[in-house]
Copies of this chain bind each other. A is one copy, B any other.
């Protein structure tokens, strides 16, 4: 991965960095980057979590086992100091059913618990991973947009953001909040659109889809990880909230066509095979200007480049991970 400046590298060397959600899609990429940058990297995880995305660097990281909703300082006895917290752990990212109460416990109470830990350690930076779903729907969404939660997942992510803001205001905790849009790349969860489409396309299998008219703002995971690293190092960003988006809208239909083309696949996409969700969000794209001007970040990898890299990764690695088998 390329970083925009060498400062990011020196910023993390030998620093104690805690990642929650480090076994997840974005989190595991971030953990890899931190290890490469020489950080002492701690990953908070549950004993039961599957660490398949971190299998190649398990000896270079320290796992802290604990339940986010039930943390106390004893869980962090391994830590003498803590410089940076990246808080990515959340329930409901995957569409498996989580009750409203579970979403609240993990995404709101869990955020409060980890904020308390960060406050105790007087960290130099706390980076909160929010979500584009906080906006409801819309095009060219700015960070100052009123929040319109269309689901309890969205409401819980905004609630975690509000708690982060209150720790920033009341305790001067140096926080930065990020709102990634539709992130894709290697290691994305197998049930999601892009992995499913790539795997099907590579197998020349038919692809069952909704009508595909909904648009999204796709952003490549390596760009997103760079955004997280800059959020932890850019001093102007403190207290702020930033979209991680490309600013470009692409329909699901166009996306699927790109994948079929890039894989030279014989697959036929069956648009309309599935109904749209009752709660379908027709448009969801962000305005990247604040991130560019304050965070010094912009998405640098085009959708075509990012899809090509992702497809190449699947071609090389799909068989190593049974989860991706059709």
Contact = CB atoms under 8 A, between A and B. Distances in A.
A104 B146 contact: no
A165 B169 CA distance: 25
Contacts of A115: 100
A202 interface: no
Given A100-B116, A109-B104, A169 B152 contact: no
* Residue among A109, A112, A113, A156 having the largest count of chain B Cβ atoms under 10 Å: A112
B109 A109 contact: yes
A212 interface: no
A279 interface: yes
Nearest to A134: B162
A151 B163 CA distance: 8
A155 B151 contact: no
Interface in A142-156: 144, 146-152, 154-156
Interface in A13-37: none
Given A101-B113, A154-B166, 12 more contacts: A100-B163, A108-B109, A108-B159, A112-B152, A151-B169, A152-B163, A152-B167, A155-B163, A155-B165, A155-B166, A158-B159, A159-B159
A109 B163 CA distance: 14
Interface string A259-284: 00000000000000000000100000
Contacts of A146: 144, 146
A105 interface: yes
Contact of A158 (B116, B150, B162, B167): B162
Contacts of A120: none
A144 B163 CA distance: 20
Nearest to A152: B166
Contacts of A170: 150-152, 279
Nearest to A115: B100
Contacts of A112: 100-101, 104, 152
Nearest to A103: B112
Contacts of A101: 109, 112-113, 116
Nearest to A110: B104
A197 to B, nearest CB: 27
B144 A169 contact: no
